[in-house]
Structure 1
Amino acid sequence: MRAWPRPDVPTVPGEACAPLLHDTASGRLVEVHTGDTARLYVCGITPYDATHIGHASTYLAFDTLQRVWLDAGLEVHYAQNITDVDDPLLERAAQRGLDWRSLADEQIQLFRDDMTALSVLPPDDYVAVTEVIDPIAAAVVRLLDAGVAYRVDTPDSDAGDDVYFDIAAASAPGVWTLGSESGYDRALMERLSAERGGDPDRVGKKDPLDPLLWRAARVGEPSWETVVGAGRPGWHIECSVIALDHLGTDFTVQGGGSDLVFPHHEMSAGHAAALSGHPLAAVYSHAGMVAYQGEKMSKSLGNLVLVSELRARGVDPRAVRLAVLAHHYRSDWEWTDSVLDEAADRVVRWRDVVDGRHSEPRQQVSARDVVEAMRSALRNDLDTPGTIAVVDEAVRSGVDDPGLLVSAIDALLGVALLAD
């Protein structure tokens, strides 16, 4: 699958190092650095209602991580999936009277356009689930053969039975055990499973939390003829297979929104461990949720602020980016008009640096010192609010090398002040 154009990232003089990042699994700040190449997987969209500010918040968080790695002199290998066949997409297509493939194509292109406008670095591997049906099916067969998956009688399918992951059997080797990535207790996991695409009440499962690996074909649903039978993949196995194929085991960071901690990332890690005998990733990192009008912004509630609609209104994408980055990536926060207005004003103030204008300069400061302060803030768990505060103060004071500061703002925060 084609991604989107890569923005230029200036090289900024000075020394930088890999960041400390909060690891959900351990609850600690850890240095995220694995050799000369940092490997990153961030779960992609299910292509409908793209791209809302909650999406943007997640992808901007891990875009910042990439920029900090690049500034530290590391290569970055970034992979991302597209869940372009799944129940929510099929349901939305039916509601709109569209072919599900047409809806997916429309929304994927919209997502590309939004990511381009926001200057988000694209993945090296941008993989749609429909492109890797056969490798996923082969992985399901491997799990069945290894005794960590089983079939459940499925009367409403003429193509065979659904296949489920056996959590107990997969936990036995000790590479992964239930709860090792999320830290959640069983009661919370059962509630979240029911809320987030699981089927804990499915008759015939060994454990209510066992997740679906393969959905046998049903009438009126898309399906593929494969080695496991006719059907389509479950949700979690797609990311396990794509990540392992493109990044290998023990990759640097698995990222996504905090609503993916369980069951998606927990089960993706379990599938990958059962397939490879190794942990999926070294660090599991999660962005907070964005609210709007008092509730979490979500497709189900329909309280969405879409990046494309903001752009259509003439909002500067740099202001959207700064509005998001003004909040720490792990925090839950609320989108408001005032948040956007403040960011738009900030773009104007920062552009004064380009033009050599500063309001009420007090004492010109060293641009090199400002850049090092920006790096220090970002190294501490991607503290973008702290970084923005450093730039605000420098802009108020004036700097001895505006060009260096402009390059650093572009490289580290992804805001190209020289753009029209």
Structure 2
Amino acid sequence: MATRYARSVQRLYDSQQQAVVHFTPLREGEVAMYVCGPTVQSAPHIGHLRSALSYDIIRRWFEACGNRVTLVRNVTDIDDKILEGARVAQAEGNPEEWWALAYRVELSFSSAYAAIGVKPPTYEPRATANVSEMIALIEHLIERGHAYPAADGSASVYFDTRSWPAYGALTHQSVDQMEDAADSEPVGKRDPRDFALWKAHREHEPVSASWPSPWGRGRPGWHIECSAMAKRYLGSEFDIHGGGLDLRFPHHENELAQSTAAGDAFARHWVHNGLVNTGGQKMSKSLGNSLFAHDLIAEGRPIVLRYFLSSAHYRSVLDFSGESLTEADAAFSRIESFVQRVEDAGNEVRHAPEVELAEAFVTAMNDDFSVPEALGVVHSTVREGNALLDAGDAAAAVDRAESVIAMLDVLGLNPYAAEWQTAQAGGSAESEKALEHLVEALLAERLEARAKKDFGTSDAIRDQLLNAGIALEDHANGTRWNVK
């Protein structure tokens, strides 16, 4: 399937142009993407999962169209909140250093991403490993007259927003409309909207959280990180810059300003994913309605969580309620049940088929990666396949089943793919094998009881399994069981 859709006409919504535009890669057959990754200060929540998944699906579609995708997703492992989190923890008796906290949280993000089938990025650079590149970029901005050392004599350096006429180009604001930069104190700034490129080391912060620079010890500001890392790994111009909608201002606006002021073309297209609401409210710590990734992953099958997170268009607001995963499980189970039904009828269905994707599916994905419409094609194919099976057209039903699997595979939702074989909630390869052994032993006893017409024992075994959350379905070719 590597080159089948190479000539597809891709359209995407460009946040800067505020329009759906045709997408043509800078280099034919290659797509270069930079996505803002997490600031590893605390455990990942549903919003982090939704963002990472959005770009995973975009990446998978570009790859299905025959492109070689380079995806860079950074890790911000030095930040005010990380340092404050470590300080608070130490005051409470936890001796964990800031860098250890950051690494521990980073691992929890990696684990959560992997649990829902997000492919690892091509490169995942940490901010702390790219400080020299940031210093060089800041020096270049000073040389070009777009940055200046703080007037108060500290080691801080600021971007001069008034020096760059194009500042505000991403969010279409004038400087006078903008809020003051909140990433540092206004002392030493020429304008309160100037933002920090380099932050002077403060006495209450650990020395390990600072680096030497031409202006004195300090650490990089948040925005300069991504400009420096994007250029290092993708060059001065690349195809797509992505991230959550909440990053458009000030983070992405400032990235664009400092990179273009330095003379780089930077991102050709800007893509932003929508946020997540819970019960109709914006998710926030103050409201206490945060949905943490580890809780959601433990609640049900991770593939169902991925299905739910994919079910709304990536640019829309995704609303989570208490019934969301139950409804998603029912919808995804209908897809799985169709394929299983075709197989239970004695047909062989390839679990990794090299088949042509449905034209409507391709059209949906080419239209700004419209996964809801693409899933609509999957479900209509399921309904069509069930009708064909009812009509006795086994060959056509097999064709539809393989088409369904191929479409799911592109979306990272193929339940037969290796990535999902042991990714059951709360389980492992060993526990799955043990469960299978126990259930199959009981099914053998039940089969023997039925052969002897001992239906009391047969029903008792069925009820025993059902009470344990295991449902049975009897078919002409045997009995299938599922954990419900």
Paired position in structure 2 for 1:216: 200
- Distance (whole Å) between structure 2 residues aligned to residue 100 and residue 36 of structure 1: 41
Residues 274 and 89 (structure 1), Cα distance of their counterparts in 2 relative to 1, 3 Å cut: same
Secondary structure, counterpart of 2:124 in structure 1: strand
Which residue does the alignment assign to 2:57?
A: 64
Cα contact 2:357–2:407 (8 A) shared by 1:
no
Q: Is structure 2 residue 378 aligned with structure 1 residue 384?
A: no
Is residue 384 of structure 2 the alignment partner of residue 397 of structure 1?
Answer: yes
The two structures, once aligned, show a CA RMSD in angstroms of 2.4
Q: Confirm or deny that 1:258 pairs with 2:237.
A: no
* Contact 2:259 2:265 (C-alpha < 8 Å) held by counterparts: yes
Per-residue deviation at 1:226? 2.8
Q: 1:169 to 1:108 in 2, by over 3 A?
A: same
Report if aligned partners of 1:143, 1:149 keep a CA contact under 8 Å in 2. Answer: yes
* Map of 2:459 onto structure 1: none
1:33-44 to 2 correspondences below 5 Å: 33-34=24-25, 35-44=28-37
Residues 183-227 of structure 1, C-alpha deviations (whole Å, 9 max, x = no match) = 13556531xx55xx445x713322222110000111132211234
Matched, 1:336 2:327: no
Matched, 1:184 2:173: yes
Distance 1:246-1:235 versus aligned 2 partners, 3 A rule: same
Shift, 1:288, TM fit: 0.9
Deviations 1:371-401 (A, max 9, x none): 2211111111111111111111111221442
Query: Could you say if the C-alpha distance between residues 204 and 25 of structure 1 is closer, same or farther in structure 2, counting changes exceeding 3 Å?
Result: same
1:318 aligns with one of 291, 299, 303: 303
Q: Distance in 1 between matches of 2:74 and 2:196?
A: 18
Cα gap change, 1:304 to 1:43, in 2 (>3 Å): same
Partner in structure 2 of residue 151 of structure 1: 149
**Aligned pairs for 1:119-130 within 5 A:** 119-130=117-128
- Paired residues of 1:137 and 1:228 also in contact (CA < 8 A): no
Write the deviation string for residues 239-265 of structure 1: whole angstroms up to 9, x where unpaired.
Answer: 000001111122111100111111111
1:105 paired residue among 103, 106, 110? 103
Does 2:321 correspond to 1:327?
no
Query: 1:188–1:389: structure 2 CA closer, same or farther, 3 Å change rule?
Result: farther
How far apart are the structure 2 equivalents of 1:346 and 1:74? Answer: 31
- Would the aligned equivalents of 1:189 and 1:263 in 2 still touch at CA under 8 Å? no
The size of the alignment, in residue pairs, is 387
Name the counterpart of 1:207.
191
Q: Which amino acid aligns with 2:24?
A: H
Residue 29 of structure 1 pairs with residue 20 of structure 2:
yes
Change (3 A) 1:183 1:258: same
Contact 1:41–1:253 under 8 Å retained in 2: yes
Q: What code does the residue aligned with 2:249 have?
A: F
2:313 maps to 1:346: no
Structure 1 contact 148–165 (Cα < 8 Å) conserved: yes
Q: Distance in 1 between matches of 2:6 and 2:33?
A: 23
Contact 1:189 1:262 in 2 (8 A): no
- Counterpart of 1:355 in structure 2 is 340
SS at match of 1:286: strand
Q: 2:270 aligns with which of 284, 308, 315?
A: 284
How far off its partner does 1:355 sit?
1.5
Q: Is the 1:290–1:297 contact (alpha carbons within 8 Å) kept by the matching residues of 2?
A: yes
Residues in 2 aligned to 1:228 and 1:19: alpha-carbon distance in whole angstroms: 46
**Structure 1 pair 184–323 and aligned structure 2 pair: CA distance change class (3 A):** farther
Measured after TM superposition, the shift of residue 293 of structure 1 is: 3.7
Asked if residue 84 in structure 1 is aligned to residue 77 in structure 2, the reply is: yes
Percent identity (aligned): 33
| Unaligned segments of structure 1, at least 5 residues | 1-9, 172-176, 359-366
Describe the superposition over 1:285-310 as per-residue Cα deviations: whole angstroms up to 9, x where unpaired.
11111112443223565421122122
What runs of 5+ residues in structure 2 fail to find an aligned partner? 91-95, 344-353, 386-396, 422-484
Contact persistence 1:292–1:303 (CA under 8 A): yes
Instruction: Specify whether residues 395 and 335 from structure 1 end up closer, same or farther in structure 2 by C-alpha distance, changes over 3 A only.
Output: same
**Letter matched to residue 184 of structure 1:** Q
Task: Give, in whole Å, the separation in 2 of the partners of 1:230 and 1:18.
Answer: 50
Shift in Å, 1:13? 5.4
Cα offset for 1:272?
A: 1.0
Measured at CA, do residues 289 and 213 of structure 1 come closer, stay the same or move farther in structure 2, by a change above 3 Å?
same
Q: For 1:118 and 1:16, how far apart are their aligned partners in 2? A: 30
CA contact (8 A) 1:41 1:255 kept: yes
Contact residue 16 and residue 71 of structure 1 kept, 8 A: no
Q: Is the 8 A contact 1:198 1:209 kept in 2?
A: no
Point out which structure has higher relative CO (alpha carbons under 8 A, 6+ apart).
Answer: 1
| Alpha-carbon offset, residue 16 of structure 1 | 5.8
Within 5 Å, give how 1:122-141 maps onto structure 2.
122-141=120-139
Contact 2:155–2:215 under 8 Å retained in 1: no
Instruction: Work out the CA distance in 2 between the residues paired with 1:229 and 1:123.
Output: 34
Summarize the Cα distance change of 1:408–1:231 in structure 2 as closer, same or farther, 3 Å threshold.
same
Please say which structure displays the higher CA radius of gyration.
2
Q: Distance in 2 between matches of 1:31 and 1:144?
A: 36
Pairing partner for 2:230 from 243, 250, 258: 243
Which residue in 2 is equivalent to 1:117? 115
TM-score under structure 2 length normalisation: 0.75
